[in-house]
Structure 1
Amino acid sequence: MIDLFYNKIIFKYSKIVICLMLLLTTFFFLEAINLKIDASSDTLILEKDKDLKYFQLLNKRYKSPEFLIIAFKPKQFLLSEESKKNIRDITTDLEQLKPVSNVTSILNVPLLLSSKKSLADILEGVPSIEDNVVENKLIMKEFTNSPLYKNNLVSEDFKTTAILINLKENNTLLKLREKKQKYQNILDERNFTDSELISFNTVKKDIIEERHKLRVIQNELILNVRNTLNNYREFGELYLGGIPMIANDVVSFVKKDLKVFGIA
């Protein structure tokens, strides 16, 4: 049967078959250029997922911006002047990046315990390392014992510290997601009217476009952060992490694999 198919069609009309294959290959190649890979929660989780709804509700009540995190293990003692200068310089460089809202490090967090202030005094202001009013011994004791900072901001052995890069919120995307959720709630109760269906599809399209813009911005940000960190690797070990970075790298890996296997 297969031999008959090849003899009567493939071999007999070989030129036509080759032309069709070339046309199909060209078509799929052109379509592959438009392929968009998205690793956001909107695409990885079902729209009607109960856990997603609960997460969105909590996120709305207790806002937590997206962030990148740097683990820095300096060659010198963590509270040495050189290490503090490096953290300060890294922070300054990172704050120059447009998508960055602020940077949190051991230099600017409040020293709640080691300052030995009363509750009334704390309301007026809490010192940080940058204020140079608390001894290193007390600072180290607080960082290694406080449940807020131990294994969060500093490692248990006090050799590694975290630098938190808080990113600016994309208010446009947040509002679009809220609109989409409102339409989703309507759909749970009844079918859309014609005008609602048009509006719903428009919102979904706008979300896709806004997510694409955000991916471009975050991709550029991650490259800039990595370039910034490269300037300080001589002073210690530096590692970058965070959900935006993981999502960005996953998409990059998938795109590279598609190119390699596509060519193959």
Structure 2
Amino acid sequence: MTKRLSGSSFFFDRVVLGHPKTVILCVLMAVGFLMFQARNFRLDASAETLVLENDEDLRYSRMISSRYGDQDFLVLAYTPREDLLSPKTLDSIARLRDGLKSLDNVESVLSILDVPLLESPPVSLRDVSGVLATLETTTVDKELARAELRNSPLYKNLLVSSDLKTTALLINFKEDRHYHDLLQRRNELRQKKASGQLSLQENVELSRVMEEFRQYRDKARKQRHWDILMIRSVMNNYREDADLFLGGISMIADDMISFIENDLTIFGVGVLLFLIITLGVIFRRLRWVCLPILFCLVSVICMVGLLGWFGWEVTVISSNFISLQLIMTMAIAIHLIVRYRELLAQNPEESNRRLILNTVLVKLKPCVYAVLTTIAGFGSLVLCDILPVITFGWMMIAGLIVSLIVTFMLFPALLVLMPKVAPSVIREGRFSPTSILARFTEARGLLI
């Protein structure tokens, strides 16, 4: 009587190991589809990624912005090496201001040269409506101006520092009316949806507006990134005369996106190189280095595609998801490789297919339980009230599932197509790291 195979045994024996090329082709098709979706992969460092959509403070902020306007601007701190009101310093500030004004998307630049001086000399109420003196006015008294800038509540610690060593230039960008119209319409429709008053037609409009806003926002971000680069290029011409520091919300958001990109690249590549070296040292065989790395790359590609497909944007909180994905995939792959090598050493005459099947079946349940417990840990993030943390939790849950599926599909399908190699004979010396750690653990268990 033939022993009936369990569901997992039947799947891996008859499907994966029985048709490995078909399985690999299906995986490649899925990877190709997700690579296509990866074009929608986005990074976001805006304030909207930090709060929930129904957050009351966010609603209040949007109401204030729609009522009073929300102009984008940057602040440039200028600390000259000479006296702030010296002719050389004022001339340098004037040239810097004019250089910034000449940029295409800069609407105006407000500097210490442009503000009215009401006490240098004192101006009567009758003369306030007329043309007021500034530091560029030839008749202005510099000492009175110095006293006014130091003591005036309008300028002290706003336009100039209290010690008159640093001044600020306010760089106002041109208003993007189309961006604000799309943003306002999207927020109105979202508010209706949250209150349950959204009609079917408005629901269709919401989807259209959200997609249009997302595309236009990406275009606007690229333009703002270029604007900031041009501003910094102008600043570089004056660094010999002063210390310059640029600040502002749009600059911080732009820099954060650059930081996220660097995190994804540096940590991802760094972890990948570390894993390659570690695998080479541990297994000392090319196939046991290439296969896990392949699983890691496929898992990362699939995860990036899923993020693009579902519209999950990576923030500064979730920027290390690639390195975590690599580590999780590698852990599963190492479990399978070690078990396969153990079975191969114990049963060198066994067929390669039988060894692979036993490896997968023995390690399937422990790996599933390990993934489930890790999912429970990341799942706790979903219960908080911080939007990027919630998104990060869902991302890691999806990443764990992707790593498990990819590894358990590709490991048997690829390995069964490879020739079985002779088992490695590993001789551990008394003073090898493994032996030393084993003896220490056995003798000092209580201490550990």
Contact 2:66/2:184 (8 A) holds in 1:
no
Which structure is higher in strand share? 1
Q: Go from structure 1 to structure 2 and tell me whether the alpha carbon gap of 1:185 and 1:25 turns closer, same or farther (over 3 Å shift).
A: closer
Q: In angstroms, what is the RMSD of aligned CA positions? A: 2.7
Identity within the alignment, %: 37
Partner residue of 1:83?
89
Q: How does 1:1-264 map to 2 (within 5 A)?
A: 31-263=37-269, 264=272
- Letter of the 1:214 partner, please give it: A
Counterpart residue identity of residue 153, structure 1:
L
- Give the direction of change, closer, same or farther, for the CA distance of 1:60–1:113 in structure 2 (3 Å limit): farther
Cα deviations by residue, 1:220-261 (Å, 9 ceiling, x for unpaired): 011111111111111111111111110000001101211233
For residues 141 and 70 of structure 2, the distance between their equivalents in structure 1, rounded to whole angstroms, comes to 32
The residue type equivalent to 2:138 in the other structure is N
Q: Which has the higher contact order (CA 8 A, sep 6+)?
A: 1
What letter matches 1:165 in structure 2?
A: I
- Shift of the alpha carbon at 1:181? 2.8
Q: 1:122 to 1:51 in 2, by over 3 A?
A: same
Give, in angstroms, the shift of residue 211 of structure 1. Answer: 1.1
Once superposed, which parts of structure 1, at least 4 consecutive aligned residues long, lie more than 4 Å away?
15-33
Return closer, same or farther for 1:168/1:45 CA change in 2, 3 Å cut-off. farther
- Per-residue deviation, 1:32: 4.4
Q: Return closer, same or farther for 1:96/1:64 CA change in 2, 3 Å cut-off.
A: same
- SS of the equivalent of 2:41 reads coil
Are the counterparts in 2 of residues 69 and 162 from structure 1 also a CA contact under 8 Å? yes
Q: Deviations over 1:110-157 (max 9, x none)?
A: 112334111110012321111122211111111111111111111111
Query: 2:78–2:243: 8 Å Cα contact kept in structure 1?
Result: yes
Note if contact 2:121-2:141 (Cα within 8 Å) is conserved in structure 1.
no
AA aligned to 2:205 is S
Q: Structure 1 stretch 35-44 or stretch 216-225: which is displaced more?
A: 35-44
Distance in 2 of aligned mates of 1:54 and 1:133: 47
Bigger Cα displacement from structure 2, 28-37 vs 45-54: 28-37
**8 A Cα contact 1:186 1:192, kept in partner:** yes
Distance change in 2, residues 1:236/1:60 (3 Å): same
Residue 185 (structure 1) shift: 3.7
Q: CA deviation at 1:206?
A: 1.6
How many residue pairs get aligned? The number is 259
- In the TM superposition, what is the alpha-carbon distance from 1:33 to its structure 2 partner? 4.9
Question: In the alignment, residue 94 of structure 2 is paired with which amino acid?
Answer: R
Q: Between 169-178 and 110-119, report the one with greater CA deviation.
A: 110-119
**Contact 1:115–1:126 under 8 Å retained in 2:** no
DSSP-derived class of the 1:237 partner: strand
Question: TM-score by structure 2 length?
Answer: 0.53
Q: Which moved more, 1:18-27 or 1:53-62?
A: 18-27
Q: Distance in 2 between matches of 1:126 and 1:45?
A: 45
TM (norm. structure 1) is: 0.87
Q: Would the aligned equivalents of 1:73 and 1:159 in 2 still touch at CA under 8 Å? A: yes
Change (3 A) 1:81 1:64: farther
Which AA in structure 1 matches 2:71?
A: P
Residue type of the alignment partner of 1:182: E
Aligned in 2, Cα 1:68/1:56: closer, same or farther, shift over 3 Å?
same
Q: Which has the higher helix share?
A: 2
Distance 1:180 1:27, change over 3 A: closer
Partners of 1:58 and 1:228 lie apart in 2 by 33
Question: What CA distance in whole angstroms lies between the structure 2 residues aligned with 1:181 and 1:31?
Answer: 26
**Higher radius of gyration, 1 or 2:** 2
**More deviation in 180-189 or 69-78?**
180-189
How far did 1:62 drift? Answer: 2.6
For structure 1, list consecutive stretches of 5 or more residues without a partner in the other structure: none
Paired residue secondary structure (1:142): helix
Find the aligned partners of 2:209 and 2:35 in 1 and give their Cα distance: 29
State which drifts further: 219-228 or 132-141. Answer: 132-141
CA contact (8 A) 1:153 1:162 kept: yes
60-69 vs 87-96, which moves further: 60-69
Q: Give the letter aligned to residue 60 of structure 1.
A: S
Distance 1:242 1:42, change over 3 A: same
SS at match of 2:128: helix
